Chain A
């Protein structure tokens, strides 16, 4: 999804940033503020969330802040369905999630993939 959307939008993305954290090689508008906000939410630390949310609000405004919160929240649900039901990771993105992309993104080092191999 990330790869396809960035190609269409003509943004640059380094897939290793998915696991390693954002680098200068990824060039999506406001990515740093968005990723910092998402990371703070995953960490569930209210002070960090508040600071990151204010940065995002200052950069992009109310509606983008709400939609970034909503997107982050949605993926707190998706990951739990995928992992608790045991949906094969090879079926992600309608089966287009090829091993090379998993390798480039660092996903092959995840526990679930390691356990399967």
Chain B
């Protein structure tokens, strides 16, 4: 493993990607909104553990993912609810259901913790996939940064379109700090808005790996070395292989 993202990479990686990885690892190691730095890094370790979990492989292969019995292979640092959320979201995201979500939340996880963990899963999925794709090992985990979570709950967060609360653009307030670049952002952008800091952290990564929001619907422009149809055939195929209907 390496402690510096893209160190010794055989390819010349865009500097904005390198910088956002460095920044993202620092943010993951810092106190979040509901989890402290040590617990956030324990989530990362569990994400990596899930990739070699035999029970997750059985679930992934099963026609009925909720009929399989067994136990996840775990690091031992997190609760059963956290483990269940992390392992299924990493291994079989396309078959998560609303009743399963309710069951996880009924265990010992708050909605805020749930959303923050999903945000970490999304960030680590992007970063570890990118390094793997370019022939590199996972980046070493940094040391945890001491401090307390902010425990900030946006007053406008409510359950409406999705299973978890979302802050609709018209419900955003100043204490949320900047949330949306436009009131017309798609629902994928709003997904983590119950934990504004997680949302901002994730989109800083997504903007450099895919496209900044202002370019997403400009189909005639390409700011990358591959054209939009080339990007979108990748996007569509990756989403389909994950059985993502969104």
User: Residues on A close to B: CB < 8 A?
Assistant: 1-2, 4-9, 11, 13, 18-19, 21-22, 26, 28-31, 34-35, 37-39, 41-42, 44, 46, 49-50, 53, 57, 60-89, 91-94, 102, 105-107, 110-113, 115
Give complex CA distance A83, B227 in Å.
27
Q: A44-B132, A73-B133, A84-B96 are in contact. Are A64 and B226 (CB under 8 A)?
A: yes
| A28-B233, A78-B206, A91-B186 known; A5 vs B246 contact (CB < 8 Å) | no
Task: Assess the A18–B122 pair: CB atoms within 8 A.
Answer: no
Q: Given that A82-B244, A87-B162, A107-B245 are known contacts, is A73 also in contact with B219, CB under 8 Å in the complex?
A: no
Q: Is the CB of B96 within 8 A of A83?
A: yes
Within 8 Å by CB of B226, from A1, A60, A62, A112, lies: A60
Q: List 23 A-B contacts (CB under 8 A).
A: A1-B216, A5-B232, A9-B228, A9-B229, A13-B229, A26-B233, A34-B226, A46-B132, A60-B226, A61-B225, A69-B130, A71-B224, A71-B226, A74-B126, A76-B242, A79-B239, A81-B192, A84-B96, A86-B163, A87-B161, A87-B187, A87-B190, A111-B65
> Chain A contacts of B101 at CB under 8 A?
84, 86
Known: A42-B241, A68-B234. A78 touches B224 (CB 8 A): no
B118 at the interface (CB under 8 A from A): yes
In the assembled complex, how far is the CB of residue A57 from the closest CB belonging to chain B, in whole angstroms? Answer: 8
Count how many pairs of residues, one from A and one from B, have CB atoms less than 8 Å apart in the complex: 270
CB proximity of A109 to chain B, nearest CB, Å: 9
